[in-house]
Structure 1
Amino acid sequence: MRQVDANTEELRDAHDKLAEFYAERLAGVLESMPIERAVLDLFCELTLAAELGRDVADVGCGTGRLLPYLAGRGVTPRGVDLAPGMVEVARRDNPGFPYEVGDLRALPFADASLAGVVCWYSLIFLPPESRDAAFAELARVVKPGGHLACAFKDGDGEKRRGGRSVGVEFDAYWLSTGEMLERLGAAGFDLVFQAGRPPEGEELVPQGYLVVRRRRPR
């Protein structure tokens, strides 16, 4: 089992405490977000068209809110999250899917075992020293020709302390689209789709969306 460092422990414990808050606040939110639905739809269509199977993972699945939507578009999703509390809530609120506790830097999947992966705001917690391992893990588990979709806060990459407004604290890093593309490219992914939107409501930065394809060996 991977040894948990202090920052990871803090992130995990904070999200254990946030599980019920997220369950209440995010329930049904996807229905009012056409851009996010469109990106997820594209990911599912590309995954099915690649004919590499239907098995996909939501890495950093939180409360599991995306899994019913993904399943409704024809793929077979499973969830993994760092926080046991999130996994517990996911099993309760969005049952019928496999969930497990796991670390993005050491995913519980075999090499090239997934047709695709979704990382929906789960890459914003990676400190600089963890990024190479995390992006390499994503490439390891996705079949060549398979797809990865991610949503993220398009920022400057500087460390921020998150969660204080709701009584917890953890580190967050809002990587720019440029850095996201650079790291995904270095890990073995090619860009398929790129989009963004201006900040809305309480958001402080634009939101970014990418769909990339795992490069096939030459």
Structure 2
Amino acid sequence: MDAGTEELRDAHDTLAEWYAANMPGKLEDMPVERAMLDLFAEMTAAVGTEVADVGCGTGRLLPYLAGRGLSPRGVDLSPRMIEVARRDNPGYDYQVADLRELPFEDMSLAGVVCWFSLIYLAPDARVRAFTELARVVRPGGCLVTAFKHGTGNLHRNAPGSLVSEFGVDFDRYWLSAREMADLFTAAGFVLVFQGHIPAAGAVPPYGYMLVRRLADA
């Protein structure tokens, strides 16, 4: 494991209990995010029900996905996040794994959710990661992602932020919708829908993208 990945894993181990205490119920206040997940669920159902939340954190999205008729599984880099997910959102299959080496067979999933989990990919890790996501999704299956919209520059956490409060730090990259779309296209996906929520104060714009796996890729 490279130093950046180790730093990211250890930081999220530290932050796991904060997420467990503060993230439950957030989805109920986010109609755009619910709409994106609903669209994903409806389009994925035509291919199958087996989906994975890659970068699932505390597993907070899995009950919502299950409520839409899907059979979700969770994957996260952080062992502590997976421990919390099993405790707080039980009844689902969770595994510790890197999204660049997913524990799924080729074309075994009808869809994948990447909810703010692709923002941690360094430039030299992106092609491998997007190719791996394409490997596990069967033709016609979908992937939905939420991300922070930006210019692609590296972000480290500023003083006063949540992560600095806990004494941790890690790299983040806020890509433009064009960069995201290009990465998906190169991996064998086609864009179905995209949208964004404009910036509000210190909060950057949030981007959302739904893509479908091409049959002949």
For Structure 1 versus Structure 2, the TM-score category normalised by the shorter chain is over 0.9
- 2:113 corresponds in structure 1 to 118
Paired with 1:201 and 1:65, the residues of 2 have a C-alpha distance of 26
Paired with 1:122 and 1:80, the residues of 2 have a C-alpha distance of 11
2:124 paired residue among 129, 132, 139: 129
Report how many residues are paired: 212
Q: Which moved more, 1:193-202 or 1:19-28?
A: 193-202
- 1:20 corresponds in structure 2 to 17
1:140 paired residue among 135, 138, 143: 135
AA in 2 matched with 1:176? S
Paired with 2:103 and 2:202, the residues of 1 have a C-alpha distance of 35
- 1:34 corresponds in structure 2 to 31
Paired with 2:183 and 2:165, the residues of 1 have a C-alpha distance of 31
Per the normalisation by structure 2, the TM-score is 0.95
Paired with 1:191 and 1:57, the residues of 2 have a C-alpha distance of 19
Q: CA deviation at 1:166?
A: 3.6
Aligned ranges for residues 59-208 of structure 1 at < 5 Å? Answer: 59-162=54-157, 163-200=163-200, 202-203=202-203, 205-208=204-207
Q: CA deviation at 1:156?
A: 1.0
Structure 1 stretches of at least 4 aligned residues deviating more than 6 Å after TM superposition: none
- 2:216 corresponds in structure 1 to 217
Paired with 2:71 and 2:201, the residues of 1 have a C-alpha distance of 33
Q: Secondary structure at the match of 2:119?
A: coil
The share of aligned pairs that are identical, in percent, is: 64
Paired with 1:195 and 1:101, the residues of 2 have a C-alpha distance of 30
2:44 paired residue among 32, 47, 50: 47
CA spacing shift, 1:73–1:201, aligned 2, 3 Å = farther
Alpha-carbon contact 2:14-2:166 (below 8 Å) kept: no
Q: Alpha carbon RMSD of aligned pairs, Å?
A: 1.1
Q: CA deviation at 1:136?
A: 0.2
Paired with 2:215 and 2:164, the residues of 1 have a C-alpha distance of 43
AA in 1 matched with 2:84? V
Q: 1:124-173: per-residue Cα shift (whole Å, max 9, x none)?
A: 00000100000000000000100000000001111111332442101111
Q: Which runs of 5+ in 2 are unaligned?
A: 158-162
Q: Secondary structure at the match of 2:27?
A: helix
Paired with 1:28 and 1:20, the residues of 2 have a C-alpha distance of 15
Paired with 1:93 and 1:55, the residues of 2 have a C-alpha distance of 21
CA spacing shift, 1:71–1:102, aligned 2, 3 Å = same
Q: CA deviation at 1:200?
A: 3.5
Q: Which moved more, 1:24-33 or 1:155-164?
A: 155-164
Paired with 2:200 and 2:53, the residues of 1 have a C-alpha distance of 24
Paired with 2:121 and 2:115, the residues of 1 have a C-alpha distance of 13
Q: CA deviation at 1:202?
A: 4.3
- 2:160 corresponds in structure 1 to none
Per the normalisation by structure 1, the TM-score is 0.95
Q: CA deviation at 1:24?
A: 1.1
